[in-house]
Amino acid sequence: MDFAFDARTEELRSRLLAFMDEHVYPAEEVAEEQRAGLASPWDTPRVVEDLKAEARRQGLWNLFLPDAEYGAGLTNLQYAPLAEITGRSPHLAPTALNCAAPDTGNMEVLSQFGSDAHRKQWLEPLLAGEIRSAFAMTEPDVASSDATNIETRITRDGADYVVNGRKWYISGAMNPDCAVFIVMGKTDPDGQDIRRQQSMILVPRDTPGLEVRRAMRVYGYEDHSHGGHAEVVFTDVRVPAANLIGEEGGGFAIAQARLGPGRIHHCMRLIGMAERAIELMCRRAVARTAFGKPLAQQGVVQNWIADARVTVEQLRLLVLKTA
């Protein structure tokens, strides 16, 4: 089995590693200082816009999107090691490259399944990094990992659809730049084929009846860097029928197309986080002395580092094979 990356991936890796060293890592402390002075914890530090401008200038932009018309035209296997590098600075790098969730998946949906009007109104500003978005699938009262359980209703009423339901852990919803939600719900709740009951529809944030009720925590933490996770309630939210993505009953298939690639992206970013942690662990082990010798010379510390290295190598190979 050939474990090497192809020439284009290696070239992009080299450029991205240099971008991280020259721009992203130095911006981490700046971003933290700026966050402390923001009016809202959900606002974006100014330095992020500087990073985005530099990434665009260097052609390190929309790398995630396999559609060459809109993105870099990379396969998942080519993009995976780039996602790993961005994971080394998860609060800055993905956003700097316009490769942050949930916008990545939403852009994939719009590029693959959206109408020309959808692409003009929503995809183009997302591709340009001018707005952010949210994806509303998960619900509190059902096991939403099985999307056939979803209870939100999308009901046809003349020239419109009316959305009613409650969603939570909706990524990106707290971001003040979040301009649109892709909402998954049932247009045919009694349909015989449970995988044809669901549809997806675009709901602009300022639509009456859409309420971003509160920010939610995951294991005690709020994710301020990507727009948080929120409880969102839709009460008689009325949007034009043209806002439907694809056809009625196509929502389940669209969800599978959207979520599959994103799992690879997330896993590789986590591997990047783990790699940086191992790096810091090794530096600490060499620099810190205890009981008369560096930690690096303590057998148990060497074992911990070795165990971490083996685990990360296994996981990387598994994710790349999946990609």
Q: Where are the domains of the chain?
A: 7-127, 132-249, 255-322
Helix ranges (DSSP H) in 119-158: 124-127
Task: Select 7-127's CATH number: 1.10.3720.10, 3.30.1280.10, 3.30.70.360, 1.10.540.10.
Answer: 1.10.540.10
The Cα–Cα gap between 295 and 219 comes to 31
Phi, psi dihedral angles at 284 (to 5 degrees): -65, -40
Question: Does the domain spanning 132-249 belong to CATH 3.40.1210.10?
Answer: no
Q: pLDDT 10s per residue in the chain (323 long)?
A: 677 999 999 999 999 999 999 999 999 999 999 999 999 889 999 999 999 999 999 999 999 999 889 989 999 999 999 999 999 999 999 999 999 999 999 999 999 999 999 999 999 999 999 999 999 999 999 988 888 999 999 999 999 999 999 999 999 999 999 999 999 999 999 999 999 999 999 999 999 999 999 999 988 888 877 789 999 999 999 999 999 999 999 999 999 999 888 899 999 999 999 999 999 999 999 999 999 999 999 889 999 999 999 999 999 999 999 99
The answer to whether 164 touches 236, Cβ cutoff 8 Å, is yes
Q: Give the residue among 164, 155, 239, 151 at the shortest CA–CA distance from 202.
A: 239
Task: Kindly report the pTM of this predicted structure.
Answer: 0.93
The answer for residues whose C-beta is within 8 angstroms of residue 294's C-beta and 6 or more apart is: 285, 286, 287, 288
The answer to whether 287 touches 103, Cβ cutoff 8 Å, is no
The Cα–Cα gap between 19 and 165 comes to 43
Q: Give the residue among 210, 216, 211 at the shortest CA–CA distance from 228.
A: 216
